[in-house]
Amino acid sequence: MKAVIQRVKKSKVEVEGENIGEINHGYLVYLGITHSDTKEIADQFIDKLLKIRLFPSEGKAINANISSVEGEILVVSQFTLYASTKKGNRPSFMDAAKPGLAEELYNYVVEQLQNQYHNKVASGVFGADMQVSSINDGPINIILDID
């Protein structure tokens, strides 16, 4: 499981012009899933996401987790995080999970975050052509790789 976590002032995702999910102050999470990912790996990812300290606190630029700043989370599926560009000019997506497994684990992550986290958790639509907009804060962008 691999993710790009962006600290944002606000973010939203649209599908066919319709606003599907929107957050203020928090994390925009692009989530990629590979063949070997499981619910146990997803649980590790969720735990790390909720504990990682990417917000300012006590005079330090990166010292507080999302819960302590009452941030919100927007999760967007992103199979292209598993792109390989080692050969040729067209990326290979062989390391990305097949859609069935990827959708199951993506939905699991979103549902678990909604159950475990006390603030707003929004999501995109798995497999849809989405338009994502955000105002990055910092900017802070972290690649979180759980294997």
Active-site amino acid positions: 80
Dihedral angle sign, alpha carbons of residues 99, 105, 107, 110: negative
The H-assigned helical ranges of 30-88 are 39-51
Q: State how far the alpha carbon of 18 is from the alpha carbons of 22, 130, 140, in Å.
A: 11, 10, 27
How remote is the C-alpha of 17 from its chain's centroid?
21
